[in-house]
Amino acid sequence: MRGELRRKRARIDLIDGKISRLLARRFKLALSLAGLKKTITDRAREKAVLAAAQKNAGRAAFRKPVKKVFEEIISQSKLLQKQK
């Protein structure tokens, strides 16, 4: 059991590393949009991003937590854009 736990945690650690790198890339792109947009908030775009994230989540049980994570990603992206 302990070996299996370690292996699964190691896989989670690899995925977390990938997520961190992808988030950094996403935030960099979001930051570059700051000068191209008239306003930071675009409700239609946010709604579309959240819908796509939920659709990509696959299992119904994952949709709500994925939506929450993407709401926070959007929130942090907007904070970065305000700082520019």
Q: Where are the domains of the chain?
A: 2-83
On the 0-12 / 13-18 / 19+ scale of CB atoms within 10 A, 77 is buried
The 10 Å Cβ neighbour count of residue 70 is 19
Domain 2-83 has CATH 1.20.59: yes
Tens of pLDDT, residue by residue, the chain (84 residues): 799 999 999 999 999 999 999 999 999 999 999 889 889 999 999 999 999 999 999 999 999 999 999 999 999 999 999 987
> Phi-psi category of 60—alpha, beta or left, where left has phi over 0 and alpha has psi -120 to 50?
alpha
Q: What is the dihedral of CA 57, 62, 66, 67, to 10 degrees?
A: 100
Q: Which amino acid is at 72?
A: E
CA Rg, the chain, in Å? Answer: 16
Q: What is the pTM of this model?
A: 0.91
